[in-house]
């Protein structure tokens, strides 16, 4: 019987995908940002190649344009690298099979994507006939940056309207007047890399001409291109439509151990 690939995840999103798909037994190393109990190989943008050599992985997983150079450098060190860079929610789902294929089981990724889509369908059935509040999602505060990439898709999946960027566009700095002119009903603070440390009081202290409910949400629920986005959609849907008959929050399906680790 052929042994499954030994995978090192250099991206938190890849770790989350493999975990939700039941393939953590094939992960032999991860970055310091991982919750998995695996040997640490450095940070997201500064992996330790000596540690990687010692783990002797079959493949490394990287994600996002910011890791493009890391992926290229790893290849010069002789590592096989699977790199993904999704920009929309559909593209995020497409990466599930790609990342899981790196671990030897593309079908696990396809099943995971299908389960996430079924959950989105249930959310849509609950909020589809509701009025859509206008939402401003802020990925960074200084300077203020409107969240892009898949976040517009996430807001719309949760039953909101997002007039600031189209899905697939990169996050970008936004002037105060543009936010005020859109008159958002909800402001969502999810500063990249800050976990739950968005500060509604600091936003309100700006004295922008915005009359909105302000929410601080863990950045991984909106910024990480993984099944974590299901948690973001569930959280936002409950903020936007508290009286809707929403499904239970999404959780990964239970898996039997694949026996590797």
Q: What is the pLDDT along the chain (261 residues), one digit of tens a residue?
A: 578 999 999 999 999 999 999 999 999 999 998 889 999 999 999 999 999 999 999 999 999 999 999 999 999 999 999 999 999 999 999 999 999 999 999 999 999 999 999 999 999 999 999 999 999 999 999 999 999 999 999 999 999 999 999 999 999 999 999 999 999 999 999 998 776 678 899 999 999 999 999 999 999 999 999 999 999 999 999 999 999 999 999 998 876 555 454
pLDDT at 14: 97
Q: Supply the pLDDT for residue 12.
A: 95
CATH topology of domain 7-121: Rossmann fold (3.40.50)
pLDDT score, position 145: 97
Q: Specify the pLDDT at position 42.
A: 95
Q: What pLDDT does residue 111 have? A: 97
Q: Write down the pLDDT at residue 256.
A: 59
The 3-class secondary structure across the chain, one letter per residue, is CCCCCCEEECCHHHHHHHHHCCCHHHEEEECCCCCCCCCECECCCCECHHHHHHHCCCEEEEECHHHHHHHHHHHHCCCCEEEECCCCHHHHHHHHHHHHHHCCCHHHHHHHHHHHHHHHHHHHHHHCCCCCCEEEEEEEECCEEECCCCHHHHHHHCCCECCCCCCCCCCEECCHHHHHHHCCCEEEECCCCCCCCCCHHHHHCCCCCCCCEEEECCCHHHHCCCCHHHHHHHHHHHHHCCCCCCCCCCCCCCCCCCCCC
Q: What is the pLDDT of residue 255?
A: 65
For residue 203, what pLDDT is reported? 94
Q: Report domain extents, the chain.
A: 7-121, 135-240
| Intrachain domains 7-121 and 135-240 with the same fold | yes
Domain 135-240 coded CATH 2.40.50.140: no
């Amino acid at each position: 019987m052929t042994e499954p690939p030994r995978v090192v995840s250099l991206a938190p999103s890849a770790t989350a995908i493999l975990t939700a798909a039941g393939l953590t037994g094939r992960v032999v190393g991860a970055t310091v940002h991982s919750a998995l109990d695996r040997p640490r190989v450095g940070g997201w943008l500064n992996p330790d190649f000596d540690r990687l050599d010692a783990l002797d992985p079959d493949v490394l997983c990287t994600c996002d344009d910011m890791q493009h150079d890391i992926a290229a450098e790893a290849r010069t060190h002789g590592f096989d690298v699977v790199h993904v860079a999704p920009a929309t929610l559909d593209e995020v789902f497409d990466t599930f099979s790609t990342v899981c294929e790196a671990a030897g089981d593309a079908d696990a990724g396809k099943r995971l994507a299908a389960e996430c889509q079924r959950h989105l369908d249930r959310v849509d059935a609950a909020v589809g006939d509701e009025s859509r509040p206008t939402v401003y999602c802020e990925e960074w505060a200084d300077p203020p940056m409107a969240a892009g990439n898949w976040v517009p898709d996430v807001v719309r999946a949760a039953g909101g309207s997002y007039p600031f960027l189209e899905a697939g566009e990169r996050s970008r700095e936004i002037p105060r007047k543009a936010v005020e002119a859109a008159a958002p009903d909800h402001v969502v603070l999810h500063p990249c890399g800050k976990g739950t440390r968005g500060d509604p009081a600091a936003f309100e202290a700006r004295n922008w001409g915005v009359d909105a409910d302000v929410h601080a949400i863990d950045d991984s629920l909106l910024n990480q291109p993984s099944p974590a986005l299901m948690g973001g959609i569930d959280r936002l849907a409950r903020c936007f439509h508290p009286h809707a008959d929403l499904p239970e929050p999404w959780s990964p399906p239970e898996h039997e151990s694949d026996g590797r680790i």
